[in-house]
Amino acid sequence: MTEKKRKTTYSIGIVLLGMLLGLLVGVMFGERLNRVKSPQVSATNTSSLISQVLALVDRAYVDKVDYDSVSGVMINAMLSSLDPHSGYMSAKETKSNGEMMEGHFEGIGILLHQHGDTVFASSITPHSPAFRAGVLPGDRILKVDTTWVSGRGFCKDMSNVVNLIRGPRYSTVTLGIQRGNTKKIQYIKLQRDVIPQKSVSVATMLDKTTGYIYIAHFSGTTATEFHSALLQLNKEGMKHLVLDLRGNPGGSLETAIRVADEMLPKGDLIVYTEGQHYQRERVKATSGGLFEEGQLTVLMNAFSASGSEVVAGALQDNDRATIVGHRSFGKGLVQRQFDMSDGSSLRLTVARYYSPSGRCIQRPYDKGSDEYYMDFLNSVTQDYELADSVMKAVYDTTQLFYTKKGRKVYGGGGIQPDVVLPYMKDSNLVYYNSLINKQIFDALVMDELSAHYADMIKRYPTAEVFLKEYKVDDATLQRIIARGEKAGIKRNDACLKRYGQEILSRYKASLAMSLYDDDVYYSIMLPYDWELQKALKTNYKL
């Protein structure tokens, strides 16, 4: 199952998922930086003390103990006392994290959607095992091998369904599905394979000279994807690039460096790293970047972290790009993964990274991990105000730095945009967000695909035909309203008057994403992205 790409939304609740992902990913040392000699670990009597405690628990504790779980908790407790981003990953978590960092995973290529007691195939990855076996968007998945996962008033937790379906390459899994109006269960046997996971979610031209690229995270394939996207947009006449890093939680530091290198001339400093056991290493841009000249705008928000901050910091400090949006998360710690013999791993902070001007944008964490995350959440949820605890620390004169051209920039808490956008406040959006959060659009799309997929794909064989000929009208809007009321969402006429067309477009975009791909979704919804539209009108002089 491919990870569901970010949809443009005004809902804080949905965006929090991106933040939580970012805290897990962080900035990881790439292959080149891993060549630094590993520090020697000295033995102490600590291990003896831990062994004594575990032996005592084994002899005297009232209940049976899961020692694997206890060990993980103990290690995490110790690491969290160091900093908020060091941590322990079980063997399963290590494998999952590795797949995300590599840009692919092993499975069958289905994006799942759960509604009520039923799991649906929401979209199918082209050329994947599911695609080749004939699984269709809208198919209801009732069984995985011999295990019932939905229907009959029963539905497993989605993470359990994912675990049942995913598995090693070349292994097999059998899905029991229902299609259309039939009650008969159809069984499809599939052989799992490697499924690519795009991190450059969309690359398109907004007009004759303006290109747009959205990078969801930095994986092992991002630099290649970004290079290909630049090649294509350059061919189409791009003179101005909008690079969207909103909600990008980071990933591979090496990849983030390669992305920045595409946009900086030879010799410009991109980043430097330094730690107690790691000597300072300065990384400079090389020649041959595909967009070293031309207007460049970078979109960021509070959930842009680590790797995305490396890119934005390099472009800002070298006066190469205008940064637009909101102050970023503020993660300037670099982790290295140390693998354990049982397949688990330690994600240990080994260095800090610094932007070309010398900024370390890491937010303070001296009050502990819990307070660290709570401060961040408070900063983005309390009335959407910019004057929060994170921002107050930024304007301390000791945090002042200068770009190559002498512009003032600040360290100590994220990347401060050159152009700060206000948070959008509109009470009418409560209704719109409720439709999103209760998955009304997705539920209607699954209904449509379950009943009419074959007819729709015959009538709209390509995305171009769909965009031109598929119509949404008042009858569509009434279905959305009725489905919302059934879910307990009271109709809001003021919202419908102001955002009715956008609501209809979102339904059409969600349907297009299941029928075709993410690019079609964005082509429909980007005109409604008010932050993007503000950025396009920005006339900030570097």
Count CB neighbours of 395 within 10 A.
12
**Which pLDDT belongs to residue 397?**
42
Q: From the candidates 306, 344, 355, 510, give the one annotated as an active-site residue.
A: 306
Q: For residues 31 and 259, is the Cβ–Cβ distance under 8 A?
A: no
- DSSP letter, residue 214: E
- DSSP letter, residue 189: E
Measured between alpha carbons, how far is 526 from 519 in angstroms, rounded to an integer? 10
**Which pLDDT belongs to residue 153?**
64
Q: Extract the tokens encoding 331.
A: 């993660």
Q: Is 434 a catalytic residue?
A: no
Measured between alpha carbons, how far is 342 from 374 in angstroms, rounded to an integer? 33
**Which pLDDT belongs to residue 5?**
39
Q: Is 331 a catalytic residue?
A: yes
**Which pLDDT belongs to residue 413?**
84
Q: For residues 412 and 363, is the Cβ–Cβ distance under 8 A?
A: yes
Q: From the candidates 331, 344, 379, 510, give the one annotated as an active-site residue.
A: 331
Measured between alpha carbons, how far is 232 from 228 in angstroms, rounded to an integer? 6
Please name the amino acid found at residue 259: V
Q: From the candidates 139, 193, 317, 388, give the one annotated as an active-site residue.
A: 317
Q: Is 355 a catalytic residue?
A: no
Instruction: Outline where DSSP puts E strands in 231-331.
Output: 240-244, 251-252, 269-275, 278-284, 295-300, 322-325
Digitized pLDDT (tens) for each residue of the chain, 542 residues in all:
443 433 433 333 333 333 433 343 455 555 444 444 444 444 456 667 777 777 777 787 777 877 677 777 777 777 778 888 888 888 888 887 777 777 778 899 999 988 888 899 998 998 999 999 999 999 999 999 999 998 766 666 788 898 899 999 999 999 999 998 888 999 999 999 998 888 999 999 999 999 999 999 999 999 999 999 999 999 999 999 999 999 999 988 999 999 999 999 999 999 999 998 888 999 999 999 999 999 999 999 999 999 999 999 999 999 999 999 999 999 999 988 888 888 888 888 999 999 999 999 998 888 887 888 888 877 776 545 543 333 444 444 458 999 999 999 988 789 999 999 887 778 889 999 999 999 999 999 999 999 999 999 999 999 999 999 999 999 999 999 999 999 999 999 999 999 999 999 999 999 999 999 888 999 999 999 999 999 999 988 88
Q: DSSP letters of 391-441?
A: HHHHT-GGGEEE-TT--EEE-SSSPPPSEEPPPP--TTHHHHHHHHHTTHH
Region for residue 466 given its phi and psi (left: phi exceeds 0; alpha: psi -120 to 50; beta: otherwise)? alpha
Q: For residues 416 and 407, is the Cβ–Cβ distance under 8 A?
A: no
Q: For residues 215 and 222, is the Cβ–Cβ distance under 8 A?
A: yes
Instruction: Outline where DSSP puts E strands in 166-268.
Output: 172-178, 186-191, 193-196, 200-205, 210-215, 240-244, 251-252
**Which pLDDT belongs to residue 208?**
96
